[in-house]
A and B are shown apart, each in its own frame.
Chain A
């Protein structure tokens, strides 16, 4: 199974900060990478798919990039509603796997 290593596992930041979360697959996954946001008690919601494509309705302050075994999710200017847990996901091969999550907290 392809392992996804996310870093950091937690992050404290302030409104207006720029933050970057990294996801490193244990092997190549082409462009089959998505990012999800999950708030407490809620289902995950897709933000970005195919590395860099924003899902419909997702604010443009979110962006994704990367290739090979190094991918990033960037939030350019944190808003109060962005404090949540973020997961990367590879859908290149079964079993589909997720990173362990990055909890983004208010500083």
Chain B
């Protein structure tokens, strides 16, 4: 464990509220990713960033936003536009380029009050 830190471990969102999930890595990795995992399902890509100050939408970006102002940080905001936010959110990072092994954080479990 270690290298990629997600916080908080548990998060509760009220109706109409935006919440931000933190992801920090000290691996000096260029690329970072956010995935959503629903019970009994695989991981779906929300957003990814190959380099600082640049990011791309994944397969399910609607209702989410990200920023990549620092190499080590890639926060994810779940906006009020995301109507079904309850899920397990996983952040990952990789060296980048052709070095494609992704390492995961411990995850944040988001629930709606």
Chain A complexes with chain B: no
List residues of chain B with CB under 8 Å of any chain A CB: none
Q: A interface vs B, CB < 8 Å?
A: none
